[in-house]
Amino acid sequence: MKQLMDSTVAVVGLGLMGASLGGALRGKCARVVGVARRAEVVETALARGFVDEGTTDLIAGVRDADVVVLSTPVRVIVQQLAEIAPHLRPGCVVMDLGSTKTEIVAAMDRLLPAPIQPLGAHPMCGKETSGIEVAEVTLYQGRTFILTPLARTTPETLALGVALAEAVGAKPLVLEADRQDYLVGTVSHLPYLLACALVATADVTTSKDPAVWKIVAGGFRDTSRVAGSDVQMMLDILMTNQAHVLDAVKVFDQQLQALARMVEAGDENGLRAALTAIRNTRKEMFP
């Protein structure tokens, strides 16, 4: 297996994540080939220096690659694995940047022939904005880059994934696929649903009063920020992590109802103790 510096890396999908990855990898691998559905996206990637070469032909883009990184919505990744599998060179490493991992690694194991090495990945650096227009080569710096190897993933392949993560300035973290889905179901996917519910609640309760837009402050804007995320991307995430997301929703509802009962009862002491404990927990998370 080639080292990263000697490898041709094909990045399929040149949105925020893919274009940023390609730009961050340039000069740290032999060549970055970008693949996108639309010619204008390829042209933008070339013009902004995110890739060395670009194409709208998926098979042509991956055929000679040593590493293929699929940076498309989760269910599209599964479809693309089937499309590219017969055309990959022996020993090629196939990675992805999907936000859920269980379905993807299962598809990798099922669809990729034995000479191809699979490695799931999920960088924790998404934004509520999407598209190549907001891509930046510093996107991955200092961010956790989750790697989810399969049973058939060799130590050399995992080492290459670690090298790729470190090359773009990220911090690699190796997790089992289901464990990663359980964790992000609470800390990433649940917040999206909560933000959407918050916006919907504000719309139902206050949108008819024009004064509301004069008093909206940073707290509402920050808390609701991720509700602006790409809907199709989030649909794919929620539909491929249903069990973990729903479990997190149930626990959240229990916590919210407990706080609401204290408010309803006028239990100021109990509420102060609960809110203080929560505040201290958040301080420990974000010192």
β-strand partners of 146: 122, 173
Give Cα separations from 79 to 67, 74, 75, 115 (angstroms): 18, 9, 7, 20
Question: What mean pLDDT is reported for the chain?
Answer: 96
pTM: 0.93
pLDDT at 213: 80
Residue for token pair 């690659």: 65
Strand 144-149 relative to strand 67-70, pairing: unpaired
Nearest C-alpha neighbor of 104 from the set 66, 146, 144, 143: 146
- What's the alpha-carbon Rg for the chain, to the nearest Å? 21
pLDDT at 126: 75
User: Taking residues 280-285, what's their average pLDDT?
Assistant: 96
Q: Which helix (H) or strand (E) holds 203?
A: helix 190-206
Least confident of 81-90, 109-118, 124-133, 159-168: 124-133
Categorize the per-residue pLDDT at 131 as very low, low, confident or very high, splitting at 50, 70 and 90.
very high
Least confident of 65-69, 124-128, 131-135: 124-128
Measured distance between the N- and C-terminal CA atoms of the chain, rounded to whole angstroms: 41
Please, where are the H alpha helices in the chain?
16-25, 39-47, 58-62, 74-84, 102-111, 155-167, 177-184, 190-206, 212-215, 218-223, 231-239, 242-265, 268-285
For residues 33 and 52, is the Cβ–Cβ distance under 8 A? yes
> What is the Cα 13 distance to its own chain's centre?
13
174-230 pLDDT, tens digit each = 999 999 999 999 999 999 999 999 999 999 999 889 898 888 878 889 999 999 999
24-78 pLDDT, tens digit each = 999 999 999 999 999 999 999 999 999 999 999 999 999 999 999 999 999 999 9
Write a three-state SS string for 78-137.
HHHHHHHHHHCCCCCEEEECCCCCHHHHHHHHHHCCCCCEEEEEEECCCCCCCCHHHCCC
Going along the chain from its start, the domains and CATH numbers come out as 4-175 (3.40.50.720), 180-285 (1.10.3660.10)
Model confidence at 159: pLDDT above 90: yes
